[in-house]
Amino acid sequence: MAKTYEEINEKIKNKKAVVLNAEEFIELVDKKGLKEAAKEVDIVTTATFGPMCSSGAFINTGHANPRIKMQKVWLNDVEAYSGLAAVDFYIGATQIPDNDPENSNGKGLFKYGGGHVIQDLIAGKDVKLKATAYGTDCYPRKEIETTVNIKELNEAYLCNPRNCYQNYGIAINKSDKTIYTYMGVLKPNAANATYCSAGQLSPLLKDPFYKTIGIGTRIWLGGAQGYVYWQGTQHNPHVKRNKNGVPIGGAGTLAVVGDLKEMSPEFIAGVSMQGYGVSLAVGIGVPIPILDEEIAKYAALKDEDIEAPIIDYANDYPVCKPRDLGTRNYKELKSGKIMIDGKDVPTAGLSSYSKALKIANLLKKEIQEGKFFLNKPAQPLPGTEWEEKFKPLKVR
Partner 1 sequence: MTNEKIKDFSYTKHSLVKRKLVLHFPKKTIDQPITYKLVKDYNLVFNILKAKIDNEQEEGLLVIELSGKDEDYAKGIDYLESLGIKLQPLEKDIERDLDKCTHCSACVVHCPTGALFVKDRKTMEVEFDKEKCILCEACIPVCPFGAMKIEY
Interacting residues with partner 1 (CB under 8 A): 49-51, 107, 109, 111, 178, 184-185, 187-189, 191-192, 194, 266, 269-274, 279, 281, 334-336, 346-355, 357
Cβ–Cβ < 8 Å for 280, 184:
no
Residues in CB range of 32: below 8 A, 6 or more apart = 40
Catalytic residue among 53, 138, 159, 164: 138
User: Which one, 188 or 370, has the nearer CB to partner 1?
Assistant: 188
CB of 335 to partner 1, least distance (A): 6
CB of 279 to partner 1, least distance (A): 8
Count of alpha carbons within 13 Å of 125, Cβ hemisphere only?
Answer: 14
CB of 113 to partner 1, least distance (A): 12
User: Which one, 107 or 297, has the nearer CB to partner 1?
Assistant: 107
Cβ–Cβ < 8 Å for 291, 42:
no
CA 72 to each of CA 68, 69, 75, 102, 163: distance values in angstroms, whole numbers, following the listed order: 11, 9, 10, 21, 27
User: Which one, 182 or 227, has the nearer CB to partner 1?
Assistant: 182
Tell me if residue 164 is catalytic.
no
Does residue 169 come out as left (phi exceeding 0), alpha (psi in the -120 to 50 range) or beta? Answer: beta
Nearest CA among 329, 252, 330, 254 for reference residue 285: 254
User: Which one, 49 or 139, has the nearer CB to partner 1?
Assistant: 49
User: Which one, 129 or 269, has the nearer CB to partner 1?
Assistant: 269
CB of 14 to partner 1, least distance (A): 33
Rounded distance between C-alpha atoms, residue 46 and residue 382, angstroms: 20
3-class SS of residue 220: strand
- Taking the mean position of all CA atoms in its chain, how far away is CA 262? 18
208 preceded by cis ω (within 30°)? no
Rounded distance between C-alpha atoms, residue 154 and residue 81, angstroms: 17
CB of 348 to partner 1, least distance (A): 4
Count CB neighbours of 394 within 10 A: 5
User: Which one, 148 or 185, has the nearer CB to partner 1?
Assistant: 185
215 residue type, one letter? I
CB of 23 to partner 1, least distance (A): 9
Mind telling me the catalytic residues? 138
